[in-house]
Amino acid sequence: MEQSKNLFGVAVNSSGKEFIRRFAKLVKWIIVFGILISFVELGAIFIRLFYLRPLLKGNSLMEFANLAESSWIVGYLILLGLQLFFLGKMGNALSTAINSDDEETFNQGLGHLYHYSVVATISSIGGFIMLAFDLIVLFRYYRVI
């Protein structure tokens, strides 16, 4: 086990503990809403692939855009699942840490926060790329560019 150096002391008072407890409760709702969003997005993929796709036959640009968008949604849902996983782990670790005054568990919670942030960054970059792709396709389709 690694020896820790006390670079600075961090103390969590009772109001800080109460915020962490509230955060842990909020995380549960975020996970529930994330799961609901996933079901809605899966419905959107179903509509895109089985109802919209036949309407786009013959328009290769819009067919490709529809397939790319559906593929991105699948990737986004995987990233969302990872985000919810790390967020849940972080909430549990922080809550457990403050209830048992365990600094190692608190540090593990911060590690989960880091992993959550990495996945959220990847998701944001992917979303930005998809938005740019959508704009390019729409401008090309309507001959704006």
The per-residue pLDDT for 7 is 47
The per-residue pLDDT for 144 is 61
Average pLDDT per 10 consecutive residues for the chain, totaling 145 residues: 56 86 93 93 87 78 83 92 95 92 90 96 94 87 67
Angle between helices 60-100 and 14-47 (to 10 degrees): 160
The per-residue pLDDT for 62 is 80
The helix (H) or strand (E) run that includes residue 20 is: helix 14-47
What is the Cα–Cα distance from 102 to 44, expressed in whole angstroms?
44
The per-residue pLDDT for 137 is 85
What is the Cα–Cα distance from 34 to 83, expressed in whole angstroms?
9
What sign does the dihedral 35-41-45-47 (CA atoms) show? positive
The per-residue pLDDT for 86 is 96
pTM listed for this prediction: 0.79
Write the DSSP symbol of residue 51: I
What is the Cα–Cα distance from 75 to 128, expressed in whole angstroms?
14
